[in-house]
Structure 1
Amino acid sequence: MPSDEPRYWFPAKRYGWGWGPPVTWQGWLVVVIFFALVIAGVFLVPPQQSAPKFIGYVVALCVILTAVCWWTGEPPRWRWGGDDR
């Protein structure tokens, strides 16, 4: 029976603020693409040639990953471990 509750790609962490590991294939695909792009960055923007450019590249990827988690994950808030979902 389908649920009216939205299916989040990234569930909230039980303790603290943020998201846990993905629970859908779409979420896992996002994580795999993120790590693939970080590894590709080692070759596209070699850190030994320009560390600031590489750091900027990785920071940009992290910002994009955070935005995807924000849009497709549970609303972020501080959690203390209670089962108050």
Structure 2
Amino acid sequence: MSENKKNTWFPAKENGWGWGKPHAWQGWLSQFIYLVAVALTSYLIDPKVELLNWAIVVTILTLCLIFLYVVKGDAPSWRWKRIKRKRIKLFK
């Protein structure tokens, strides 16, 4: 494990732009906390009744998660690797 990998919670995606699945327990915990916070927000603020308030709170939570990705993740850059697929031979 390289020194850079120890400090990052979210690696850059292998294909495309952005971040992939976390490779540190802190990254998994932060995503779990985000999901619980969004679920709790949806429970406490009914989006059918108070859509604007709900959207503001969820937007703030999402921006906090993106900030965490930027601070604790690899720098996102456009990456494109050829995807290798196994070919199935019907006849030998």
TM-score for both structures, normalised by structure 2: 0.79
Give secondary structure in 2 for the equivalent of 1:62: helix
Deviations 1:4-24 (A, max 9, x none): 334210000111111011111
Cα distance in structure 2, aligned partners of 1:70 and 1:45: 28
| Cα deviation, residue 81, structure 1 | 2.2
State how many pairs are aligned: 81
Q: How does 1:1-85 map to 2 (within 5 A)?
A: 3-7=2-6, 8-81=8-81
Give the deviation of 1:43 after TM superposition. 2.0
What letter matches 1:25 in structure 2? W
**Which structure has the highest strand share of the two?**
1
Larger radius of gyration: 2
- Alpha-carbon shift at residue 58 of structure 1 (Å): 1.1
Identity of aligned residues (%): 36
Cα deviation, 1:11-56, whole Å, max 9, x if unaligned, reads 0011111101111100000000000000000122211220111111
Distance 1:21 1:55 in 2: 25
